[in-house]
Amino acid sequence: MLEAIGMIELTSVGIGYKVQDAMLKAADVRLVLGRTICSGKYINIVTGQVAAVQAAVEAGLNAAPDGVIDSILIPNVHPSVFAALGQSVQIGDGHQKAMGIVETFSTASVLEAADAAAKAAAVTLFRIHIAMALGGKGFVLMTGSVADCQSGVDAAAEVVREKGLLVSAVVIPGPSKELYQEYI
């Protein structure tokens, strides 16, 4: 069972590969995503048991202490984070009472935001978009009742605001069907 997720966001592609190698050698983790992102940065996301992910993130941080933009370790990550990150979530037509959007300045912080929203409210995370065509930013989309979306957005925004990385936090009551076109 995948219990944790860890991520390191780096300033350089070369450093990104070095960190990925260190992370994968340090512990029994699975690489979820390792790639270049906008603005010439690189991200590594791993998953596995909490202790293994913690060891991998520590090893990665030690491999390149001067190249780190942001990093996270989320023990007991909400399972819906993986589906939304993989953009494999389908939502039923007519179940969208509201849409919540949280946008962040870093890709790592959007994963923390998504996890916080899913744990705080009865929302469905349906997309986590990281970095590409966003200048290195990230955003999470969620749906549910207006109250749940507001609670989810508030929880997500608070986590990101503490790091000084919040761009926007928006709830749209009664969104148009077209906003969900590719997810229905």
- Reported as a pLDDT band with limits 50, 70 and 90, residue 42 is very high
pLDDT above 90 as % of the chain: 67
Q: Which CATH superfamily is domain 4-74 in?
A: BMC (bacterial microcompartment) domain (3.30.70.1710)
Tell me which CATH code domain 80-183 carries.
3.30.70.1710
Domain ranges of the chain: 4-74, 80-183
pLDDT above 70 as % of the chain: 90
Mean pLDDT (the chain) is: 90
For residue range 46-63, what is the model confidence (pLDDT) as tens digits? 999 999 999 999 999 999
For residue range 61-88, what is the model confidence (pLDDT) as tens digits? 999 888 998 899 999 999 888 888 876 6
For residue range 91-134, what is the model confidence (pLDDT) as tens digits? 766 667 899 999 999 888 999 999 999 999 999 999 998 877 66
Residue 171 confidence (pLDDT) above 90:
yes
Report how far residue 1's alpha carbon sits from residue 67's, in angstroms, rounded to the nearest whole number: 31
Q: Do domains 4-74 and 80-183 have the same CATH topology?
A: yes
Strand blocks (E) in 22-176? 30-37, 41-48, 68-74, 98-104, 124-130, 138-144, 166-173
